[in-house]
Structure 1
């Protein structure tokens, strides 16, 4: 049988504005992720909890989030309403996120045991709500488009709206406007303004994202449509996890990069790096501004590269460039007599630090963004392999590894901070630089990230779904949907792939 399937039959596309609008769902959840980084200061400085207590509870909350994620995915895969599968989940979970922040940032009204109980309950409630909306970003992408030239575009819009709009501009607003407005302190007035802005903007972005996915939130775009194999039992779901090696490999790599993204956006780390190591907390906002144009250019280049060479190639390139950026930062910091004077004195060290820092942030955030799109490839691979459409489960497997990895971030930060003498409270930006703080800053900025990036590189090199393999995946799905050939004569990606590619055959269902 001919393995050639017409492109217009093999791929279903989306309008550019639909991709852009739907990417705002990730921005809506990332706003909460960004704001969540300030919870440590609220919990210790206003609610009165100890540093290690806060860091360990935050780690527990993220771990709990990961444990329940597969259940959330299974629930999502069985949702079907007259308004679609994804839009009702987006709306309800965003309302729940608003309620969760109302509780989390009013804990100072409780004391003693009740404070701890309410803190744990609010964290768990927040994580459940966050997981539902965040998972939609991964789960809905296979329905949005399967065109290999369109899928990388999600990363461009996500970079503009999330990486730049939420994290970069968000840091500028906090460090250069909100923080000075409240005397440089994270006080109750600061949180009142900050949290109100977060919940309102996130709600607006969620509505826009619902509009973006509305045309494709239909059964005909879910896997094989009406021919999709039903997934009912735990054994069925386990067969997906057990037999899908690309899922296992990329989930671990994505979790590693998520740990770095979480580490760099945590306000304790930002304060140590900019407020103490460099001696100017306001630099965090300035460098966030400086990185906007370079980030857009780099992401555009990586996206073009991805559309030509595949998502795996662009992911690998990004991790390699991240390692180079970290090496550059290490060279600047370890050769400086006084790191607080790097930006005061200017010159080559300042330029190299800016280049290294921008590179570090860009090449950390790009993999965490593009993995959302690569999850759609894995969903399609599973449809071609078994006939099942389980984008919810696959999305939450990524969330599971993300949560486990990112749960380590506050724990690692807590132990590093406690280890350098700050067991009762996180260091403020006004702390003078000491040898201990320098060691802690370098550990969080360079040493831990370098080791984690090496692990991610090793894993992504093992990932099998290159551009050639994905062409075969889409051809197989198209052939099955159109019923052009008998099942035993269809292009079999499980057993027939060119030796020159990384064959999908290596990932044959292990149950067979």
Structure 2
């Protein structure tokens, strides 16, 4: 891997390509549960018998609670030191915890009365805690994996292949075009039994592979200044990190807005509303997921090239511009179509343009959530250069905090929107007839909200200071402090 000619070779500790590829599977392992979590609302209302308001409120409360305890998780992570390293024990234990949480959540239909509600809420809280641990490792271990600015963007390529494509695109295709039809097009108990077992087994295998990928770098020598790292003990120390790290503040807020959008468009109620009802064919969601595989690779490869040659910030900005353009294109098609259910039924230019818009929206909208994992490593290095502290766990969970707060709003927004148009006892299914109220709700979620939040995110990221030259200076400072 070529090095930056403006910086000394000694500044960088490189990772092997296979190490970056395998470690990216940790994000895939946790994203499998995130993908499956999008179906939980249908299980809760259709099988467990909860009301729409109850489900959206409990989901929101659990995510909010998770967000509030995330900084504590980061502090705990920063103080873990075992003979197996810092990150690998957390990855293994948290993934087993995720398996147990799903076993609990998807068995609540077997209980009655207040016990059912209690078990469901406890399952949600436990799930969010163990999910945060494994997901935070993906961010916290990035500085140890590699500090080479030309290598760090490569993580996004592998994450796109394994997560954006392998899980969210191919996963949606499998559910919509194979698993759902296999069970009569219904999200019934047989569907969830088969679905959840597959999720748990695959996620565990991916976690083991990710542990292999980080094994060489999971030691003190690659943590900040190594033995010279300034110890962070008190609440005052941690507060000084949060208060004094401007890039952390900007990126955490920006990523929270984008994470809200990705959570929104990944929720199965959203997918059913847009494809099953407004466009009249739920299977299209899986088809477009398959079609987007090649464009996804090409576009993310382009973003990665920009990130390697210029900065991660520039790639982030371009992805937001692409997302906003795609949203505008979908809006034009939907609002100018006499009958949106005929867009894909009749084919033609409208179908092509909407498909381009949706695929662009999905790719460009999810890329920031991937690249922020490596941008968090830049922020961790910036903090090391600034204060001598290595607190990648805390920094990772600050992102988890803002993510949890923002994503806690996604099911609440969807739930309240559905309640507002009359769906108080359950969510609309793929065969629901299109009504003006459902069309309005769908366009609010697909067009209006992304346009507003995407514009705010673009404004914020334009003020992010860690560009190419700044990161060269940061690595030079760290190298000098190491002696």
Structure 2 length-normalised TM: 0.98
Say which SS state the counterpart of residue 24 (structure 2) adopts. Answer: helix
Matched with 2:406 is 405
User: Aligned-pair distance for 1:454?
Assistant: 1.0
Structure whose alpha-carbon radius of gyration is higher: 1
RMSD of aligned Cα (Å): 0.8
Tell me if the contact between 2:317 and 2:462 (Cα under 8 Å) persists in the aligned partners. Answer: yes
Say which SS state the counterpart of residue 27 (structure 1) adopts. Answer: helix
Say which SS state the counterpart of residue 265 (structure 2) adopts. Answer: helix
Matched with 1:491 is none
User: Aligned-pair distance for 1:372?
Assistant: 0.5
User: Aligned-pair distance for 1:415?
Assistant: 1.1
Residue 424 in 1 paired to residue 425 in 2? yes
Say which SS state the counterpart of residue 150 (structure 1) adopts. Answer: coil
Superposed, 1:95-494 pairs within 5 Å as: 95-482=96-483
Gap regions ≥5 residues in structure 2: none
Give per-residue Cα distances to partners, 1:410-445, cap 9 Å, x unaligned: 011011111122111100011111111110110111
Tell me if the contact between 1:5 and 1:479 (Cα under 8 Å) persists in the aligned partners. Answer: no
Give per-residue Cα distances to partners, 1:290-349, cap 9 Å, x unaligned: 100001000001100110110001101110111100000000000000000001111110
Matched with 1:67 is 68
User: Aligned-pair distance for 1:139?
Assistant: 0.1
Say which SS state the counterpart of residue 63 (structure 1) adopts. Answer: helix
* Inter-partner Cα distance in structure 2 for 1:42 and 1:184: 14
Matched with 1:501 is none
Give per-residue Cα distances to partners, 1:342-363, cap 9 Å, x unaligned: 0111111000000000000001
* Inter-partner Cα distance in structure 1 for 2:420 and 2:458: 29
Q: CA 1:6 to 1:251, structure 2 compared with 1: closer, same or farther past 3 Å?
A: closer
User: Aligned-pair distance for 1:7?
Assistant: 2.6
Give per-residue Cα distances to partners, 1:252-293, cap 9 Å, x unaligned: 000110001000110000000000000000001000001000
Q: How many residue pairs are counted as aligned between the two chains?
A: 479
Matched with 2:14 is 13
Say which SS state the counterpart of residue 350 (structure 1) adopts. Answer: helix
Q: CA 1:6 to 1:298, structure 2 compared with 1: closer, same or farther past 3 Å?
A: closer
User: Aligned-pair distance for 1:5?
Assistant: 8.2
Give per-residue Cα distances to partners, 1:126-145, cap 9 Å, x unaligned: 01110000000000000000
Matched with 1:91 is 92
* Inter-partner Cα distance in structure 2 for 1:149 and 1:52: 47
Matched with 1:44 is 45
* Inter-partner Cα distance in structure 1 for 2:53 and 2:155: 38
Tell me if the contact between 2:12 and 2:146 (Cα under 8 Å) persists in the aligned partners. Answer: yes
Say which SS state the counterpart of residue 314 (structure 2) adopts. Answer: helix
Over 6 Å off, 4+ runs:
none
Give per-residue Cα distances to partners, 1:32-72, cap 9 Å, x unaligned: 00000000000000000000110111011111111110000
* Inter-partner Cα distance in structure 2 for 1:450 and 1:419: 22
* Inter-partner Cα distance in structure 1 for 2:163 and 2:456: 25
* Inter-partner Cα distance in structure 2 for 1:455 and 1:58: 26
Residue 26 in 1 paired to residue 36 in 2? no
Give per-residue Cα distances to partners, 1:445-503, cap 9 Å, x unaligned: 11111111111111101111111110000000001112xxxxxxxxxxxxxxxxxxxxx
* Inter-partner Cα distance in structure 1 for 2:197 and 2:33: 11
Say which SS state the counterpart of residue 20 (structure 2) adopts. Answer: helix
Give per-residue Cα distances to partners, 1:167-196, cap 9 Å, x unaligned: 001101111111000000011100110000
* Inter-partner Cα distance in structure 1 for 2:288 and 2:7: 47
User: Aligned-pair distance for 1:6?
Assistant: 5.2
* Inter-partner Cα distance in structure 1 for 2:364 and 2:53: 30
Tell me if the contact between 2:7 and 2:472 (Cα under 8 Å) persists in the aligned partners. Answer: no
Say which SS state the counterpart of residue 462 (structure 1) adopts. Answer: coil
Q: CA 1:6 to 1:455, structure 2 compared with 1: closer, same or farther past 3 Å?
A: closer
* Inter-partner Cα distance in structure 1 for 2:472 and 2:83: 33
Tell me if the contact between 1:5 and 1:478 (Cα under 8 Å) persists in the aligned partners. Answer: no
Residue 76 in 1 paired to residue 77 in 2? yes
Tell me if the contact between 2:24 and 2:158 (Cα under 8 Å) persists in the aligned partners. Answer: yes
* Inter-partner Cα distance in structure 2 for 1:371 and 1:212: 20
Say which SS state the counterpart of residue 57 (structure 2) adopts. Answer: helix
* Inter-partner Cα distance in structure 2 for 1:6 and 1:115: 59
* Inter-partner Cα distance in structure 1 for 2:319 and 2:157: 14
* Inter-partner Cα distance in structure 1 for 2:166 and 2:417: 30
Q: CA 1:6 to 1:252, structure 2 compared with 1: closer, same or farther past 3 Å?
A: closer
User: Aligned-pair distance for 1:364?
Assistant: 0.6
Tell me if the contact between 1:97 and 1:130 (Cα under 8 Å) persists in the aligned partners. Answer: yes
Tell me if the contact between 1:5 and 1:475 (Cα under 8 Å) persists in the aligned partners. Answer: no
